[in-house]
Amino acid sequence: MRHLHGSGKPRGKCVSPGQRNRNINPIMMKSKQEQEKHTRPGDFRPIIISLAAVLIGIVLVIAFHAVPFRGLILFLLAFVAFVLPGLALGKVLLPFSSKNPTGFFFSCAVGLALSSLIGVVLAYCFGWRPLLLLIILVAASIIALVIQRKRRSPLHANGNLSPWQSREFAALLVFLIIAASFLILPFRNVGAKIGDEYRYAWLFGHDFINRGALSTSISHGVPPAHMYFSGAALRYYYLAYILPAFVYSVSKETVPIFGLMQMTCLAYSLLLVCIIFSFFRSLVRKTAAFISVMALALIAYSYMGLFVFGRCILQKVLSLPYPVTHPPVNWKETLMSFTPFSHTFYRFFLVEPQAVLGICLMLVIIHLTISKPLRTRSIFVSSLLGILIGLELGAEAMTAAVLVAWFSIVGLLDIVKLKGRRGPMFASMVVSGAGAVAIFLPLLAIGMFSTKSGSTNIQFALHKVFLLGGPLYLLLDYGPMSIFGILGLVACARSKGDRDGLSGGFGILLWVSLFMILFVRNPVEADFGLLKGARILPIPLLLFSGCFFENLRRRTSLAAFAWMIAIAAIPTLFTDLRTASNVRDPYHTTYVRKADYEACRWIKRNTPTDAIIQSNPNYPAADVRAFKGNYNFSLISIFAERPMAAGDWKLTQLQHDFPHKARARYNDIIRMFQTADLQEAVRIIRDCDVDYIYIGQLEKRLYPEGAKKFHNHSRLFRNVYSRNGVNVYQVVRPQGIDPGGTPVGQISP
In a domain, 294, yes or no: yes
604 and 521 in one domain? Answer: no
Q: Mean pLDDT for the chain?
A: 84
In a domain, 11, yes or no: no
298 and 310 in one domain? Answer: no
315 and 355 in one domain? Answer: no
Count of positions (residues) in the chain:
749
By three-state DSSP, how is residue 428 classified?
Answer: helix
In a domain, 584, yes or no: no
pLDDT tens, position by position, 407-445: 999 988 888 887 777 788 889 999 999 999 999 999 988
Residue 740 pLDDT more than 50? no
User: pLDDT at position 725, please?
Assistant: 93
Q: Any long-range contacts for 129-132 (C-beta under 8 Å, 24+ apart)?
A: 130/246, 130/249, 130/250
Give the H or E element holding residue 613: strand 613-614
Alpha-carbon gap, residue 103 to 95, rounded angstroms: 5
Alpha-carbon gap, residue 85 to 108, rounded angstroms: 8
Residue 744 pLDDT more than 50? no
658 and 547 in one domain? Answer: no
pLDDT tens, position by position, 122-176: 999 998 999 999 999 999 888 877 776 666 555 554 445 688 989 999 999 999 9
Split at pLDDT 50, 70, 90, the class of 372 is confident
In a domain, 36, yes or no: no
335 and 245 in one domain? Answer: no
In a domain, 17, yes or no: no
Alpha-carbon gap, residue 738 to 714, rounded angstroms: 17
User: pLDDT at position 466, please?
Assistant: 77
- Chain-centroid distance of CA 281 in Å reads 24
Residue 10 pLDDT more than 80? no
In a domain, 226, yes or no: no
665 and 528 in one domain? Answer: no
729 burial via Cβ count (<10 Å: 0-12, 13-18, 19+): buried
Give the H or E element holding residue 58: helix 45-66
Total number of domains in the chain: 3
User: pLDDT at position 497, please?
Assistant: 57
717-723 and 733-737: which strand pairing? unpaired
Give, rounded to a whole angstrom, the gap between the first and last alpha carbons of the chain: 66
Give the H or E element holding residue 745: strand 743-748
Which among 341, 366, 398 is the end of a domain?
Answer: 341
Domain of 666: which CATH number? 3.40.50
427 and 326 in one domain? Answer: no
357 and 334 in one domain? Answer: no
Split at pLDDT 50, 70, 90, the class of 118 is very high
User: pLDDT at position 312, please?
Assistant: 84
Domain of residue 468 covers 44-212+233-302+342-572
Backbone torsions φ then ψ of 482, nearest 5 degrees: -70, -35
555 and 463 in one domain? Answer: yes
321 burial via Cβ count (<10 Å: 0-12, 13-18, 19+): middle
In a domain, 539, yes or no: yes
Angle 391-396-402 from CA coordinates, rounded to 5° = 90
Alpha-carbon gap, residue 341 to 308, rounded angstroms: 9
User: pLDDT at position 653, please?
Assistant: 80
**Least confident range of 86-90, 337-341, 436-440, 621-625:** 621-625
Which among 312, 341, 370 is the end of a domain?
Answer: 341
623 and 551 in one domain? Answer: no
598 and 552 in one domain? Answer: no
The DSSP symbol for 235 reads -
Which among 316, 341, 366 is the end of a domain?
Answer: 341
Residue 49 pLDDT more than 80? yes
pTM, two decimal places: 0.89
pLDDT tens, position by position, 604-648: 999 999 999 999 998 876 555 555 667 789 999 999 999 999 998
Half-sphere exposure of 285 (CA within 13 A, CB side): 17
Residue 14 pLDDT more than 80? no
For a pLDDT cut of 70, what percent of the chain falls above it?
A: 84
725 and 651 in one domain? Answer: yes
User: pLDDT at position 50, please?
Assistant: 94
**Least confident range of 112-121, 156-165, 470-479:** 156-165
